[in-house]
Amino acid sequence: MAIITALLISSLLIFSVPFPANALSLNYYDETCPGAEAIITKAVKEATTSDKKVPAALLRMHFHDCFIRVDNQGCDASILLSSVGKNTAEKDGPPNVSLHAFYVIHDAKKQIEALCPGVVSCADILALAARDSVALSGGPTWDVPKGRKDGRISKASETIQMPAPTFNLSQLQQSFSQRGLSMDDLVALSGGHTLGFAHCSSFRNRIHFFNTTHDIDPSLHPSFAASLKSICPINNKMKNAGTTMDPSSTTFDNTYFKLILQRKSLFSSDQALLTSPKTKDLVSKFASSQKAFSKAFVKSMIKMSSITGGQEVRKDCNMVN
Ligand code: HEM
Ligand SMILES: *[C@@H]1O[C@H](CO)[C@@H](O)[C@H](O)[C@H]1NC(C)=O
Ligand SMILES: *[C@@H]1O[C@H](CO)[C@@H](O)[C@H](O)[C@H]1NC(C)=O
Ligand SMILES: *[C@@H]1O[C@H](CO)[C@@H](O)[C@H](O)[C@H]1NC(C)=O
């Protein structure tokens, strides 16, 4: 009986946790590869010197890595895998328009492999590079818990599990809670939109045929909506048309929250943060305190980047071992 119960419990565990979380710690590579973090920081810095768009790209790449797949392999560097044979990988999936700068991770990995082969996971390199990207942009810095393993599965068909910019608050809440993240995490992490660029396709729903009674989303500031319409006309043919999300600076700061209050944020999913009293209060708090935002962002980043479930340390971030 005890054996049967034990078998039952263990099989239940196996089914409910198909990819057990990796045990993370701050000193994970202290003995095995103490030089890794400095290599990553240098790689991010050098890449940013020649391309100012790198930090935004790496922060978003890490977010996508952690979020694709609700069954929680989480931050497992699946976003870095190349398509092989008939399998189209995540990075070649539909919402990939702004994913770029993969080379920064591959460069860092090559240098780290030369120093300590087979030790440092691609998922850890990406988590550290995201941290460095925020710090390098003038935002907060923090110690990243390490020990993530890399996953062996990457499917373009699963990128539809990403939250969409057209989502309302209840859809966003659901998407975050499926990954063990709260409404507080949602508001704080959305502050990542202080960096980077959005293409017209990501906000066109708000400026053309919004609904049957309004052509433009009335929650958009009118003159801001007009400027978006001129950047993104209905018959827009420019593939790369769009705008930076925080036009005032490339600094990682709390301007994103000020823009939401001014009704000048780009996505429905940004504006949606004003549609519940709890999230609205947080937006106001972060808009008036850079310090409160930084503190909350760090806490939620550590939480998001601890969603793990990979199985190996890849030798080459492009392909499984
Ligand atoms: C809450 C749900 C989220 C939605 C619906 C969302 C959606 C989007 C969309 C549509 C874009 C623009 C893509 C394009 O048009 O090129 C974007 C860009 C970006 N997102 Fe998010 N995002 C979310 C959360 C996050 C989080 C949690 C982070 C990081 C902490 C983040 C960081 C970024 C960054 C840095 C960019 C700019 C990328 C670049 O310029 O290369 N986003 N996001
Ligand atoms: C995005 O996906 C398309 C196919 O959907 C692919 O051709 C393209 O290479 C991908 N872009 C990146 C940056 O991976
Ligand atoms: C959010 O969107 C979903 C799907 O379109 C819809 O079912 C739901 O009623 C919406 N919620 C709110 C509060 O508007
Ligand atoms: C269109 O959107 C506005 C603002 O959200 C809303 O007040 C209006 O009722 C909507 N119209 C329809 C037909 O849904």
Query: What digits encode the pLDDT tens for the residues 290-310?
Result: 999 999 999 999 999 999 999
Q: Does the annotation flag 143 for ligand binding?
A: no
Distance CA 130, CA 36 (A): 14
Strand partners for 84: 87
Mutate to test the pocket of ligand 1, among 63, 126, 169, 201 (most ligand atoms within 8 A of CB): 63
pLDDT at 97: 58
The pLDDT of residue 72 = 57
Sign of CA dihedral 262, 187, 146, 148: negative
Q: CATH assignment of 169-299, given 1.10.420.10, 3.60.21.10, 1.10.600.10, 3.30.460.80?
A: 1.10.420.10
For residue 178, the number of C-alpha atoms closer than 13 Å in the C-beta half-sphere is 18
Measured from the CB, is residue 44 less than 6 Å from ligand 1? no
Distance 211 CA to ligand 4 centre (A): 6
**What pLDDT shows up at residue 69?**
73
Cα of 298 vs centre of ligand 2, distance in Å, is: 31
> In angstroms, rounded to a whole number, what is the distance separating the alpha carbons of residues 283 and 50?
33
Rounded Cα–Cα distance for residues 315 and 34 (Å) = 18
What are the boundaries of each domain within the chain? 8-162, 169-299
Return all residues near 3 (Cβ < 8 A) that are at least 6 apart.
none
Distance 289 CA to ligand 1 centre (A): 22
Q: Which CATH number fits domain 8-162: 1.10.150.120, 1.10.520.10, 3.60.70.12, 3.60.15.10?
A: 1.10.520.10
Is 90 annotated as a binding-site member? yes
- Among 164, 170, 172, smallest CA distance to 204 is for 164
Q: Atom 8 of ligand 3 has which residue's CA nearest to it?
A: 170
Average pLDDT, 10 consecutive residues per value, the chain (321 residues): 46 54 95 98 98 97 89 87 92 77 97 98 98 98 98 88 95 96 98 97 96 97 97 91 95 98 98 98 98 98 96 96 96
d(CA 208, CA 217): 9
Q: Which ligand is nearest to the CA of 66?
A: 1
Residue 281 assigned to a binding site: no
CA of 218 to the centre of ligand 4 (A): 9
State residue 17's pLDDT score. Answer: 54
Residues paired with 146 in a beta bridge = 25
Count how many Cα atoms sit within 13 Å of the Cα of residue 311 in the half-sphere of its side chain: 7
Nearest residue (by CA) to ligand 1, atom 14, is 198
